[in-house]
Structure 1
Amino acid sequence: MIDEETVAALFAAGSAVRENAYAPYSGFRVGAALVTSDGAIHAGCNVENAAYPVGSCAEAGALSAMAGSGARRLAAILVLGEGDALCTPCGACRQRIREFAAGDAVVLVAGPEGVRRRFTVDDLLPESFGPDNLGR
């Protein structure tokens, strides 16, 4: 469980990085911020590319920042997009998150006005395959 102060910090970091998203093709800017078990926050934004499949998701950017810091476990992640529909992580990002999170890790889905919904990794990726399946 994460406290409201941490949720606010994740929202602030996700909002700030979302402003720097590079989305000239879709116009759909996304920010993601995660917190590790020691309280460190890492953020990332989506980066599109003219060769469409080589862009990267905001969640992947936040996870790369986390891994680059030496951390290997996240406690919660917030994904912030705009529009009426929930901006949940895509399938590939659900698997990326699972690599570094337990099934009960919190996934917050937000819009510009705040958190819209809370999930766990298990909610979004039930019966997932992860490091523990490989004895790690």
Structure 2
Amino acid sequence: MDAVTQALYDAAQKVRKHAHVPYSDFPVGAAILADDGNVYAGCNIENAAYPQGSCAEASAISAMVGAGAKKIHRIFVIGKGVDPVTPCGGCRQRIREFATADTVIICTGEDGDAKSYTMNEILPDSFGPESLEAVK
């Protein structure tokens, strides 16, 4: 694991410990390396009114945007289990908003091996900001 990936892993693991998951008991952490060189992390936050929760990736993106960064260079996602914990469909689209086709998404379970995807691999033929530019 290179130094940047290790830093993202460490940040995702640290924030994951603060996840609010009283219903699923499935804590997830995410950490982003942004275009400003900083790392932004977020955890999932559940709510008794289930649709009102937030995914870890969405929380990390909110932290990034709130700090003024604009692009995701790399993102690391970690959850429970052996299998890689990949972003849900909604979060794939949220990541896509701030990513390039080559942005690397690294996913792992706490007890398994990490798997890496590019944005295009995890969300092929996606609709993004430039899709709207094409029709103006």
Q: Which residue of 2 aligns with 1:99?
A: 97
CA 114–75 in structure 1, closer or farther in 2 if over 3 Å, else same = farther
Structure 1 gaps of 5+ residues are none
Q: Which residue of 1 aligns with 2:7?
A: 9
The range that moved more, 80-89 or 112-121, is 112-121
Q: For the aligned residues, what is the CA RMSD?
A: 1.5
- Per the TM alignment, residue 116 of structure 1 is displaced from its structure 2 partner at its CA by 1.2
**SS state at 2:114 partner:** strand
CA contact (8 A) 2:84 2:113 kept: no
Deviations 1:35-86 (A, max 9, x none): 0133210000000000011101000000000000011101010000011232
- Per the TM alignment, residue 112 of structure 1 is displaced from its structure 2 partner at its CA by 2.3
Structure 2 gaps of 5+ residues are none
Deviations 1:77-102 (A, max 9, x none): 00000112321000000000000000
* Letter aligned with residue 69 of structure 1: A
Q: Which residue of 1 aligns with 2:34?
A: 36
* Selected match of 1:90 from 76, 88, 91: 88
Distance, in Å, in 2 between the alignment partners of 1:31 and 1:94 is 15
Q: Which residue of 2 aligns with 1:68?
A: 66
* Letter aligned with residue 122 of structure 1: N
Q: Size of the alignment, in residue pairs?
A: 134
What stretches of structure 1 move > 3 A for 4+ residues in a row? none
CA contact (8 A) 1:79 1:108 kept: yes
TM-score normalised by structure 2 residue count: 0.94
Distance, in Å, in 2 between the alignment partners of 1:114 and 1:84 is 4
What pairs up with 1:115-126 in 2 under 5 angstroms?
A: 116-126=114-124
CA contact (8 A) 1:108 1:115 kept: no
